[in-house]
């Protein structure tokens, strides 16, 4: 139900007053590195130019984009003139290397505005190793690495170049994947990027044990009952049984997707076969389901 701005303001003014006064900040170009604090992942992207020359530079406008097993993707924002963006447009391949906090100075050395054709890694203590699925090299000192190919390139007018990347391989230091997250976070020792001042002084935080906290995602009072699921089509008994096997947190979403899937196939009812076929197409398997079970 839509409510007017005035009604919304009345509702808000009924709440306890908050002590901190707010002010609106002018949005300037590169506003994210201006005042707004945006804790970010620090990566070094390695790529090859048309002649096969290696390039490396830090990039932190990077985000997971698609989490499914069959189509894992990341989204990354670049200055369109950067060598990295131009290389990726030309070759369609690159590697996202995440350095540990021990290598922040080397990472900053790769950020310098080196001339075209310079392999920045040669001006650092980093070691190049072959990648598994793409041609640009990976960086040995990085505990987590994603080898990527281009899915989509978006040239924003007078602004960033956006790459949506397929993740072809995820490569990690041996042993990390088997650790509990509480052990893996300090073991990887990834820095958190806290942006720059005047595009010159870059701030970072290090994750050590004292700085890491853990918070449980609790169930709502009374336990999670799964909520009401609105069925718009007929479902056969086996399909309903299958739906009950889906973890509660996903059940509503999956029910909607299954009805759409069955409709696309021209069916008038959802069957267990639709469920099997859709799971196969979406890369949903028992391992993924187990991740949502409590
Ligand atoms: C920590 C850090 C993060 C950066 N993140 C980005 C980014 O996400 N996008 C971008 O266009 N430039 C980013 N830069 C700037 C580029 O790394 C820099 O312009 C570099 O010289 C580009 O090199 P290239 O032309 O070889 O690609 C970042 C720099 C640093 C130090």
Residue nearest to atom 14 of ligand 1 (CA): 59
Q: Over the stretch 157-205, which tens digit does the pLDDT of each residue have? A: 999 999 999 999 999 999 999 999 999 999 999 999 999 998 899 999 9
Distance between CA atoms of 124 and 114, rounded to whole angstroms?
13
Q: How far is the CA of 176 from the centre of ligand 1 (A)?
A: 28
Percentage helix, strand, coil for the chain under 3-state DSSP, each rounded to 5 = 30, 25, 40
The CA–CA distances, whole Å, from 280 to 155, 177, 188, 235 equal: 34, 25, 33, 19
pTM confidence score: 0.81
Q: How far is the CA of 157 from the centre of ligand 1 (A)?
A: 19
Give residue 225's pLDDT: 56
Mutate to test the pocket of ligand 1, among 58, 62, 113 (most ligand atoms within 8 A of CB): 58
Give me the residues of the chain with pLDDT under 50, please.
none
Task: For ligand 1, say whether the CB of 55 is within 6 Å of any of its atoms.
Answer: yes
- Assign residue 175 a region (left: φ > 0; alpha: ψ between -120 and 50; beta: otherwise): left
Give residue 208's pLDDT: 81
Residue nearest to atom 2 of ligand 1 (CA): 58
Q: How far is the CA of 195 from the centre of ligand 1 (A)?
A: 11
The distance of Cα 97 from the centroid of its chain, to the nearest Å, equals 14
Give residue 53's pLDDT: 98
Give residue 56's pLDDT: 98
Task: For ligand 1, say whether the CB of 58 is within 6 Å of any of its atoms.
Answer: yes
Q: Over the stretch 108-136, which tens digit does the pLDDT of each residue have? A: 999 999 999 999 999 999 999 999 999 99
């Amino acid at each position: 139900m839509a409510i007017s701005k005035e009604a919304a303001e009345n509702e808000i003014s009924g709440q306890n007053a908050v002590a901190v006064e707010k002010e609106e900040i002018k949005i300037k170009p590169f506003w994210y590195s201006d005042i707004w604090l945006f804790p970010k992942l620090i990566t070094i992207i390695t790529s090859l130019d048309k002649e096969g020359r290696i390039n490396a530079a830090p990039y932190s406008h990077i985000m997971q984009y698609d989490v499914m097993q069959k189509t894992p993707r990341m989204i990354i924002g670049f200055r369109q003139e950067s060598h990295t963006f131009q290389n990726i447009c030309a070759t369609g391949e690159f590697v996202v290397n995440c350095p540990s906090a021990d290598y922040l100075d080397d990472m900053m050395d790769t950020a310098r505005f080196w001339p075209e054709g310079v392999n920045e890694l040669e001006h650092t203590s980093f070691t190049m190793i072959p990648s598994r699925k793409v041609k640009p090299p990976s960086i040995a000192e990085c505990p987590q690495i994603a080898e990527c190919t281009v899915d989509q390139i978006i040239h924003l007018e007078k602004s960033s170049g956006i790459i949506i990347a397929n993740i072809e391989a995820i490569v990690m230091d041996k042993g990390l994947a088997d650790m509990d997250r509480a052990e893996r976070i300090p073991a990887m020792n990834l820095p958190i990027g806290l942006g720059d001042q005047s595009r010159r002084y870059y701030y970072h935080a290090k994750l050590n044990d004292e700085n890491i906290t853990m918070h449980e995602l609790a169930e709502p009072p009374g336990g999670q009952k799964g909520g009401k699921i609105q069925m718009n089509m007929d479902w056969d008994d086996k399909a309903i049984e299958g739906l009950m096997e889906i973890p509660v947190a996903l059940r509503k979403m999956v029910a909607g997707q299954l009805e759409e899937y069955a409709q696309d196939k021209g069916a008038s009812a959802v069957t267990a076969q639709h469920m099997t076929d859709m799971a196969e197409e979406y890369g949903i398997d028992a391992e993924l389901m187990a991740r949502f079970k409590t």
